[in-house]
Structure 1
């Protein structure tokens, strides 16, 4: 009887939302968020310009000297750096997960690599941070990207921002 009810629920789609929610978490660290293992950051990305290219979530040390430094240098020096990538999904909510080595303070960067090259292009690509402060025209500062990650799963919303002429980077609806 229980097996029949479970099968009926699956056929009717009752269990589908939970499966879809887990399946929608992108990146190589998705299991850290969907399995509740942590510590990890589950970022919900909003405001994508389109669904082209690749999405990246990067974790840096939370200090101005190391923020946005070349990953090879950070890794060689034994500093925190983690990157997860995923193709932009054709539709639906966008959630990405990145594992962190231990609870603590980090800097988190989201980028939307729209042109398919592995180098950030200010002309076409997008970026965002957990603070969701307007990026403008200058290089971002670490305080815009700093987050405090607990032992579990930290959830953040990141609004993607793209170049808007002379005013610099901002959300698409500005």
Structure 2
């Protein structure tokens, strides 16, 4: 191999190695996003505080009355509700997938369950919605959680927020 071919090969290899790692699509619905079998939502998760615990993505009706309502109540009323859990990957970008019953408007909520208790721990756990506005000290506004889903895979970005002192929840960076 000539010197110029070696240089081209080295530059090509270094360019390839510099590319960011692909997000791992996780959760029981991952095939819906990996195979583009919508309707589904792919939530790209950023701002994780650490790699402890597990991750949860929940789908709600897009109404004030139903957003973050108890899942038992929603199911008893025959309303849309879906929950996907995923183990925390050891490294790399994270992407979760959740199927939706049909194209339409929904509310989406993400939780980083750091202590594995399946109950939101205000002091430890993180939360996020697609709107990515600062959550503060109260329940997220429905407007921040709205996702319009078509017949394919709708991609949203969620930046996780954690308790940041008296100001409430906010991103860690």
TM range (shorter): 0.7 to 0.9
Distance 1:46 1:138 in 2: 21
User: Can you give the 5+ residue segments of structure 2 that lack an aligned partner in the other structure?
Assistant: 1-20
Rg larger for: 2
Distance 1:21 1:155 in 2: 15
Q: How far off its partner does 1:21 sit?
A: 4.9
Q: State the partner residue of 1:32.
A: 32
Q: State the partner residue of 1:60.
A: 60
Aligned residues: 153
Distance 2:93 2:138 in 1: 30
Over aligned residue pairs, what C-alpha RMSD do you find?
1.2
Q: State the partner residue of 2:91.
A: 91
Q: How far off its partner does 1:138 sit?
A: 1.5
Deviation by residue 1:16-41 (Cα, 9 ceiling, x = unmatched):
xxxx858x210000011011110000
Distance 2:67 2:139 in 1: 11
* Secondary structure, counterpart of 1:155 in structure 2: strand
User: Can you give the 5+ residue segments of structure 1 that lack an aligned partner in the other structure?
Assistant: 1-19
Distance 1:123 1:69 in 2: 21
Instruction: Report 1:152-167 matches (<5 A).
Output: 152-167=152-167
